[in-house]
Amino acid sequence: MKEFDALVIGAGMGGMATAALWAKRGKSVKVLESHYSSGGCAGYFKRREGIYDAGATTLSGLKKGRPTQRLIEELDLDVRLFPCDPGMIIHRKNSIFTFHKDLTKLINEIRNEFNLDLSKEVQEWLIIEEKLWYSLQAARPIQMLSADHLFKLLTGGSLSLALKPQIFFKSFFDFLPKKARENEDFIRCLDQILMISTQQTSKTCPAFMGILGFLYPLDTYAIDGGMYGLCKSLEKKILEYGGSIDFRNPCLFISEHQNAFVVESKKEVYKAHHLILNISPEQFNKIYKSGFSIEQENDEIWGALTAYFAVKTKEPIQGCYHQVHTKKGSLFFSLSHTEDNLRKSDYQMITVSTHIDKKDFSESNKDETYYNKKNKFEELVTSKFKEAFSQYGIEEIKFDSVGTPKTFEFYTSRPEGEVGGLVHNSLWSLTRLLPNQYRKKNIFHTGDYSFPGQGIVSVFQSAFNTL
Ligand SMILES: Cc1cc2nc3c(=O)[nH]c(=O)nc-3n(C[C@H](O)[C@H](O)[C@H](O)COP(=O)(O)OP(=O)(O)OC[C@H]3O[C@@H](n4cnc5c(N)ncnc54)[C@H](O)[C@@H]3O)c2cc1C
């Protein structure tokens, strides 16, 4: 049996970031991944036209001191980033709202588009946002809060946050000034922005999440090669620091023996002193055979519907992130950056995503209804694309495929294809997240089922927390 300090189950962003950080600290680390490539929900797949992002496309948390920036610095990751300005371009029914990174321009855009002056509020939200990010560095799941963390929380940014308790207990909608609440057009647009960043709308989203979510486009970046670029740079670091990754090698059973874990995978059996889980609690419970289980109340997780296609246009389409509003909600179009070098291609590669209920595609994938629904989505995506981007002179659309919750379940093993992470609908929902370590066991969690939750940036913070 090969022996390791730590065995990481899953090479999602959480598993890989954690493996690299532990390996850098001199631990012998092995990552087991069931799929043939890394990234999980933030993975990629290759086609003749180029490389597609499979799920996640935007990178955030790159301002100084934020988790993604700290990870890149700590691991000296070899990634080329493109700051996205505008952070997002929103195609509304009859107009375009540009989410500029420059504050004055953004405030003017809100004023012109919605006849709404939010200059004072946006400035205030920016200050709160900075403090919330600072607190995140000290914040830990309750089980892991030490006196030192508590001191940092209270003496750092969050003391002034404590003086604004309403941001934790009010919904973002109720926190907004009356003039914004009464502006239906603004609320409709805000809700779609929040769906991307917080996975909920202003009325269900606590104000502190709403502030972070609304300002998310101010800190968005594209990456050379898309998620393929990020995955490859993380893989490289794991190997450079002496760790290793096994692809197509799912972990099947785990048991405990003489204070160590015995991990049976498809290819081999390993012994490990620490177990790092990048998988769902439900999955862990199925494979762990030594009388310990993890419970998590997790009914509020979305499914995703995605579409992938490559385009040729007369002029390259500008802006990586476009949200196109539809009758029922919105579609998020992510385009490869015009200067993307790693994905050198004659095409711009496009990933489209939208939220759906996990149960929406619950019929068998051999069922005709399943195929009809997929076809309908393909039609919607291509027609909306043509409407929104016709000015670039569309020459060719090479449609690849539609991804449903079943597709995500197949490639990531997430139950029913649930993706993104638990939805935070109150301050207390943070306590539903799995701790990054169990006190009495050398079992760790990383990824969006664990604290602090959703999205790549939080997943990177969870990797730091395991240290
Ligand atoms: C469509 C979509 C769009 C998104 N957009 C964004 C975005 O733009 N920006 C953003 O920040 N976030 C986005 N997200 C969310 C983000 O992708 C996820 O929160 C994050 O990638 C989760 O990473 P993870 O490491 O927690 O888990 P996962 O990505 O689920 O990784 C878990 C890994 O474990 C592997 N695995 C499972 N079981 C086993 C086993 N038994 N043995 C070995 N390996 C196993 C899986 O194959 C997988 O690779 C999006 C998600 C989706 C689905």
- Counting from 1 in the atom list of ligand 1, the atom nearest the Cα of 54 is 1
The answer to whether 437 and 425 are in contact (CB under 8 A) is no
Please report, in tens digits, the pLDDT of each residue of the chain (467 residues total).
899 999 999 999 999 999 999 999 999 999 999 999 999 999 999 999 999 999 999 999 999 999 999 999 999 999 999 999 999 999 999 999 999 999 999 999 999 999 999 999 999 999 999 888 888 877 777 777 777 777 776 666 666 677 688 898 999 999 999 999 999 999 999 999 999 999 999 999 999 999 999 999 999 999 999 999 999 999 999 999 999 999 999 999 999 998 899 999 999 999 999 999 999 999 999 999 888 888 888 778 899 999 999 999 999 999 999 999 999 899 999 999 999 999 888 999 999 999 999 888 888 877 888 999 999 999 999 999 999 999 999 999 999 999 999 999 999 999 999 998 888 888 778 888 999 998 778 999 999 999 999 999 999 999 999 99
Nearest CA to ligand 1 atom 5: 56
Pairing of strands 394-403, 443-445: unpaired
Q: Residue 430 and residue 145: Cα distance in Å, rounded?
A: 13
The answer to whether 404 and 371 are in contact (CB under 8 A) is no
The pLDDT assigned to 154 comes to 67
The pLDDT assigned to 157 comes to 62
Alpha carbon 107 to chain centroid distance?
Answer: 27
The answer to whether 82 and 222 are in contact (CB under 8 A) is yes
The answer to whether 22 and 29 are in contact (CB under 8 A) is yes
Nearest CA to ligand 1 atom 35: 10
Q: Residue 247 and residue 418: Cα distance in Å, rounded?
A: 22
CB 212 near ligand 1, within 6 Å:
no
Sign of CA dihedral 95, 101, 104, 110: positive
| Residue 375 CA, ligand 1 centroid: distance in Å | 25
The pLDDT assigned to 345 comes to 87
Q: Which of 363, 337, 366 shows the shortest CA–CA distance to 350?
A: 337
Nearest CA to ligand 1 atom 26: 447
CB 452 near ligand 1, within 6 Å:
no
CB 56 near ligand 1, within 6 Å:
yes
| Residue 11 CA, ligand 1 centroid: distance in Å | 9
| Residue 395 CA, ligand 1 centroid: distance in Å | 33
Q: Copy the structure tokens of residue 80.
A: 């080329």
Q: Copy the structure tokens of residue 300.
A: 């509020």
Q: Which of 365, 237, 381 shows the shortest CA–CA distance to 305?
A: 381
| Residue 37 CA, ligand 1 centroid: distance in Å | 12
pTM recorded for the entire structure: 0.96
Pocket test for ligand 1, best of 279, 298, 462 (most atoms within 8 A of CB): 279
The pLDDT assigned to 421 comes to 87
| Residue 42 CA, ligand 1 centroid: distance in Å | 5
CB 222 near ligand 1, within 6 Å:
no
- Counting from 1 in the atom list of ligand 1, the atom nearest the Cα of 353 is 1
Sign of CA dihedral 447, 452, 453, 454: negative
Say which residue the tokens 């588009």 belong to.
Answer: 113
CB 128 near ligand 1, within 6 Å:
no
The pLDDT assigned to 164 comes to 80
Backbone phi and psi for residue 306, each to the nearest 5 degrees, phi listed first: -130, 160
Q: Residue 176 and residue 194: Cα distance in Å, rounded?
A: 14
| Whole-Å CA distances, 431 to 89, 169, 230, 423 | 34, 15, 30, 12
CB 40 near ligand 1, within 6 Å:
yes
Helix (H, G, I), strand (E, B) or coil at 49: coil
CB 419 near ligand 1, within 6 Å:
yes
CB 198 near ligand 1, within 6 Å:
no
Q: Residue 464 and residue 387: Cα distance in Å, rounded?
A: 43
| Residue 58 CA, ligand 1 centroid: distance in Å | 13
| Residue 410 CA, ligand 1 centroid: distance in Å | 12
- Counting from 1 in the atom list of ligand 1, the atom nearest the Cα of 38 is 49
Per-residue DSSP letters for 369-391? HHHHHHHHHHHHHHHHHHHHHGG
CB 234 near ligand 1, within 6 Å:
no
CB 349 near ligand 1, within 6 Å:
no
Nearest CA to ligand 1 atom 19: 455
> Which parts of 54-206 fold into alpha helices (H)?
67-75, 103-114, 119-138, 147-155, 158-162, 166-169, 172-175, 178-181, 184-197
The answer to whether 176 and 214 are in contact (CB under 8 A) is no
The answer to whether 29 and 239 are in contact (CB under 8 A) is no
Q: Which of 46, 10, 35 shows the shortest CA–CA distance to 228?
A: 46
Nearest CA to ligand 1 atom 45: 10
Sign of CA dihedral 443, 444, 448, 454: positive
Pocket test for ligand 1, best of 238, 278, 462 (most atoms within 8 A of CB): 278
The pLDDT assigned to 134 comes to 83
Instruction: Please name the amino acid found at residue 142.
Output: I
Q: Residue 344 and residue 33: Cα distance in Å, rounded?
A: 27
The answer to whether 59 and 68 are in contact (CB under 8 A) is yes
